[in-house]
Amino acid sequence: MKKLSLDELNRLSVEAFKKADKNPIVLVLDNVRSLNNVGAAFRTGDAFLVEKIFLCGITGTPPHRDIHKTALGATESVAWEYRENTIELIRELHHEGYQVCVLEQASHSIPLNRFQPKPGQPYALVFGNEVFGVHEDVVLAADHVLEIPQLGTKHSLNISVTIGIALWDLVCKTEGLEK
């Protein structure tokens, strides 16, 4: 066994990424304040071939040094759009056929490991502010509220970790890794 070089990884170029078939997933960042978390969302979105990232409310947008530091160029590959109002975006995504899944700690949430997505169904995954979470009206408008079960003393995971876990789980369950 040997560690692979960057050339041996056979990653897509930015141009090839833009032309590639995407997993039917969009990310929605609802008032995320950390630019490093925004950059991490881009990098993780690139890794899992998401369609688009929506940056809502106070969420920072590229170009910004702190976003680029963690995105490592993914702001050039992953499509993104800024929206002032998250709830209006959620209504549009519903109209376009997306199932909206909020990742939040809430009554009657579904543990992520028990959520069974439908292959081919487009999903919008919504992640919230690092302190306040996803806005309540967005939670109420969602089709599903998913929660990552935790075993320790802390009350939450960092949003960048949550995005990675949720995307990995959804892409694995919908066979999106077979692209």
pLDDT 10s digits, 100-142: 999 999 999 999 999 999 989 999 999 999 999 999 999 999 9
Confidence of residue 80 (pLDDT cuts 50, 70, 90): very high
Calculate mean pLDDT across residues 83-106: 98
Residue 178 has pLDDT above 70, yes or no: no
- In terms of Cβ atoms closer than 10 Å to its own Cβ (0-12, 13-18, 19+), residue 15 is exposed
Confidence of residue 155 (pLDDT cuts 50, 70, 90): confident
Per-domain residue ranges of the chain: 19-178
Only one residue has tokens 């690092």, namely 130
Edge-to-edge, what's the strand order for the sheet holding 50-56?
A: 80-83, 50-56, 23-30, 123-128, 99-103, 144-147, 110-111
Residue 177 has pLDDT above 80, yes or no: no
Q: Are 59 and 32 in contact (CB under 8 A)?
A: yes
19-178 CATH: 3.40.1280.10
Only one residue has tokens 């499509």, namely 79
Phi and psi at residue 103, to the nearest 5°: -100, 110
